[in-house]
Every structure is written in structure tokens, then in C-alpha cells.
Amino acid sequence: MTAMTTDTKPSGDRAVDPVRPPRRLQFPPAFVWGVATASYQIEGAADEGGRTPSIWDTFAATPGKIQGGDTGAIADDHYHRYVDDIAIMKQLGIRSYRFSIAWPRITPQVTADSLGPVNEAGALFYAHVVDELLAAGISPAVTLYHWDLPQALEDAGGWTNRKTAERFGEYAGVVAALLGARVGTYITLNEPWCSAFLGYASGVHAPGRTDPAAALAAVHHLNLGHGLAVREIRAATRVAQVGVTLNLAWVRAATERAADVDAARQVDGLANRVFLDPMLRGSYPPDVLADTAAVTDWSFVQDGDLALVNQPIDLVGLNYYSPTTVQARETGGAALRADGHGSSAASPWPGCDAIDFPPQPGPYTEMGWSIDARGMYELLMRLHREHPTLGLLVTENGAAYADEVAADGSVIDDERITYLEQHLAAINDAIAEGADVRGYYLWTLLDNFEWAYGYSKRFGIVHVDYATLDRTIKSSGLWYANVIIENGFPLD
């Protein structure tokens, strides 16, 4: 049974100055208010409907990889409960739902050399999700890859193998043909930085490899896969908008020292420009190639690749949570790896061995991530300045807190509301200064499997009791419903 409240006002005491009226933020009339999820984090049903294992099934089953020994085998059981979950979205007034397709459900027999047949059960599942969303008045936004690569492709080299990019392009075309123009937005990749560097360099994400050269090969093949996917989506449906989601970093030098400023340049290259430049300019940054020359010679980039990567797209999605501060390491100093992506002896930054990531000032979320909404504004304005004709979406933003259910069954999460207010205000400021930000997808709808953290971190605006799988809308969910109704909110 789903625990839901019908009160549309957020709970909790949030003081308002009785003398000075609060500033009111308003968003453009067509601004899209959404929520985002990812398939492996919520679906469960890992061995149902013809689905075969993904790299996250394998990684989660490996002892010591996931906090608490958790897996996504059941997760939130969204596979069986999607109708109820969409009903919650409708109650909250959500206008758009960004969800991802589990590749192992669509072509479970894929190999490096063949996409294999389409799995009817998997295709029907996502068709039914789209049907239910449209019936509820919610626009579907589909992410084609949110990290759950079929294990069979990883066994053949994963994203270090060019054939994975080729199969991904074909898979994207299949999904676009199946769902067609009923989906208004297709997003090729979610956070390829994480896929490449956390998956193949630091090993804290699936597939858990620690090879910096492999990570850079994965970067290129993810970029190539993006371009091939855009081309196939365009061929399958000429109506939908197509884009990519990047977790761009707001990189700051710890001091004005030349060495720290250069450290920021290096990290900006690997965090941002190694994806932005090939996708939007058709070239890799020369300084990134030089910085990583001791790691790889980039011979995996073939003639014509960059033209394939540089496909016209309609929008870029920005995922933003926390700032990044860097400094050059003092001679003989101990390495500082407080970069917020789990613990690993291996660095996710190939070629940056003399760079440290010092601890950030507070306040912090439950993830230990420093809160600074200015980074949201700065990144949106950077995209606006560098690519002024490109549409922008905030495709993820949210915060984990140690939410607790009160005796009356409510979940009061005012800290999350404050975090969201600050970041929405930053978006509003960017819009006021000309950035074409078209929508916001809050991360996330449901508490879920938080990758290497298992079920220990809660990002949802809907609480999930993992013993019963009952859902309870938190005060942040009720607050967000009011934001949507008003297309804005008062800011103290």
C-alpha cells in the first residue's frame, strides 16, 4: 500500500520575516518541472522479463564493492509498481519524467558483433510506462544510457572497445523506433565522466577497473557512441529533441598561485572540455591531449570519428550537486582525494597525479558534498556564453539527507527544501541573464539504490520503506508540488 497525504502544503516550521516580504521567484511560462530516475536504481526485477545482467548486477554482487552488500535486484520494485509511482507524480503535478532505459531489457542477447533481437517483454514494459505517463499528462524524457551496460559487452572490453559504441548507436535507434515521437526528448548518455573515470580509472563504479589508459579510451568511445546514437535517433524520429546529459564541474583553484590555476585548467579539461569540445566543436582540446600523453597516445581516435561525434543536438542537460576545488600538490605532500566519489586508492583523474582535491567548506549534504549553489549559476552561464544557441536543461539536482519518519508517519526534510530553493534561485538568476534554461528535473522521485552507497543515502522527495516498499511523500515533495502550481516560490 502506498502511504500518501493529500495536503498540498509543506510541513515543518519555516519562518518568514513578518516585516520584510520575501522575494518571489517566477519562472518562464513554458518552464518544464520534472523529476528524474535511473533504471538500475529503481526498477528491480533484475532477472524478469528477459533481462540479462548488466555491469551493475555483476559489480554489486562482488563482495566489498557496495556499502552494506546491497544490490539493485529489488531496488524500489518500480518494474511492478510503475503505475502507482506515476500516480504519485500526477498527484505532485510533475510535468515531465526523465527515466532511463535498461539496455539489457531491450536487446538482452547483444554481443560485441551483433545487437541481437529485440526482447518483446522489455520493449512492452517501456511502452506501457510511456502510455501511463501520457495518460497522466506527464511528458516522457528518455535517457538511453544511465550506466547499466550489458555485461556481455563488458566481457568484450566494454567502453574500451569501439564495437560497444557501434552497438550503442544501433540500440538507440531501436528504442527511438519503438517509442517514437511519443517521447519528446531523448538523451543519449548520462554523465559519461562517471562511466569512464569512476568505472575504468578509480574503479568505484561498475565495471570496477583501475586503468587510466582504459578510462581515456572509454571517454572517446562514449563520445563516439553519443554521436552514433544521435544520428540513429534522428533517423528513427524527426520530431523529438535530442541531447546529452553531462555532470560538468565548477572547477575552482584553491588559490591564485599559478600552479593552482594550472591544476584547475587540467581538471576542467578532463571534467568538462573532453566531452563538450568533441560533442559541440568536433575536436579534443590540445591541452588535454598533451596533459594525458604519458597515459595514452589517443590512437583509438580514428579518421572521421570527430565528425561522427559532432552531431547537431538540440540541448545539453546539466547535472550539478557540488563544487570542485583543486590545488597543486606540495612537493612531498600527501595526496588528498576528497573529491566526493567514494574511496579508492586509484585516481579518477588520469594525468593529474600532482593535483589534490582539498576538503570543501560546509555546509554539507549527507553525501559529504559541500553545498554551493553558485556553481549551478556559473555552469549555466558558461554554457550560455560558449554555446548561446543551445537549449539547456537541468537534468539532475538534489540532495541526500538522513530523512526519518516521524511518529505521525510524516517525513520532514526542510534541509532538502532549503537546498532546492538555493539552486532554483541560481537557475532563476541565470535565466534572468539570458541563459536558455528550459526545465528542471529534480533528483530524485524515490529514495533508491545509490550506486556504491547502496541504500544508505536518500535523495528522494518520496520516502521508500525498504522493508515494505511503501512510499510516503516527504515535505520536500509537497513543497515541490506548490512550486509547480505557482511556477515559482517565495525566497526568504
CA distance 214 to 191: 17
**pLDDT of 441-483, one tens digit each?**
999 999 999 999 999 999 999 999 999 999 999 999 999 999 9
Q: Comparing C-alpha atoms, which of 213, 479, 223 is closest to residue 346?
A: 213
**Residue 487: is it exposed, middle or buried by C-beta count within 10 angstroms (0-12/13-18/19+)?**
middle
- Residue 327 parent element (H or E): strand 324-328
Count of beta carbons in the 10 Å neighbourhood of residue 434: 11
**pLDDT above 70: residue 284:** yes
**pLDDT above 80: residue 125:** yes
CATH classification of the domain holding 216? 3.20.20.80
Calculate what percentage of the chain has a pLDDT beyond 90.
91
Catalytic residues: 191, 396
* Mean pLDDT, the chain, whole residue set: 94
**Amino acid 200: pLDDT:** 98
Task: Give CA separation, 387 vs 66, 260, 314, 315, 383, in Å.
Answer: 39, 27, 11, 10, 6
C-alpha cell at 108: 538482452
Residues 6 or more apart in contact with residue 288 via CB below 8 angstroms: 269, 270, 273, 274
CA distance 171 to 232: 9
Give residue 269's region: left, alpha or beta (phi > 0; psi -120 to 50): alpha
Q: Cell 576528497 sits at which residue?
A: 338
1 lies in some domain: no
User: Predicted confidence band at 213 (pLDDT cuts at 50, 70, 90)?
Assistant: very high
Calculate what percentage of the chain has a pLDDT beyond 70.
93
**Amino acid 8: pLDDT:** 31
Q: Comparing C-alpha atoms, which of 105, 96, 90 is closest to residue 4?
A: 90
**Amino acid 331: pLDDT:** 62
181 lies in some domain: yes
What's the count of helices (H) and strands (E) in the chain, helices before strands? 17, 15
211 against 342, higher pLDDT: 211
**Amino acid 330: pLDDT:** 80
**pLDDT of 312-329, one tens digit each?**
999 999 999 999 999 999
Q: Comparing C-alpha atoms, which of 375, 341, 339 is closest to residue 356?
A: 339
**Amino acid 457: pLDDT:** 98
**Amino acid 343: pLDDT:** 59
Mean pLDDT over 183-203 rounds to: 98
207 lies in some domain: yes
Mean pLDDT over 44-61 rounds to: 98
**Amino acid 12: pLDDT:** 38
User: Predicted confidence band at 1 (pLDDT cuts at 50, 70, 90)?
Assistant: very low
**In the chain, helix, strand, coil percent, each to 5?**
40, 15, 45
For the entire predicted model, the pTM comes to 0.94
**Amino acid 2: pLDDT:** 39
6 lies in some domain: no
Residues 6 or more apart in contact with residue 227 via CB below 8 angstroms: 169, 279, 308, 309, 310, 311
The DSSP letter of residue 283 is: S
| Beta-ladder partners of 488 | 26
23 against 404, higher pLDDT: 404
- Quote the domain boundaries for residue 330: 23-491
Amino acid of residue 60: A
User: Predicted confidence band at 20 (pLDDT cuts at 50, 70, 90)?
Assistant: low
| 224 neighbors 305 (Cβ within 8 angstroms) | yes
| Beta-ladder partners of 384 | none
State the total domains in the chain. 1
Mean pLDDT over 190-200 rounds to: 98
Q: Comparing C-alpha atoms, which of 24, 248, 34, 211 is closest to residue 133?
A: 34
Please report the DSSP string for 20-76 in residue order.
Answer: SPPEEEE--TT-EEEEE--HHHH---TTSTT---BHHHHHHTSTTSSGGG--SSSTT
Count of beta carbons in the 10 Å neighbourhood of residue 177: 15
**pLDDT above 90: residue 299:** yes
420 lies in some domain: yes
287 lies in some domain: yes
In 90-209, at which residue ranges do the beta strands (DSSP E only) sit? 96-100, 139-145, 185-190
**Residue 155: is it exposed, middle or buried by C-beta count within 10 angstroms (0-12/13-18/19+)?**
middle
124 lies in some domain: yes
Q: How many residues does the chain have?
A: 492
**Amino acid 492: pLDDT:** 79
9 lies in some domain: no
Q: Which of 7-16, 124-133, 265-274 has the lowest mean pLDDT?
A: 7-16
User: Predicted confidence band at 21 (pLDDT cuts at 50, 70, 90)?
Assistant: low
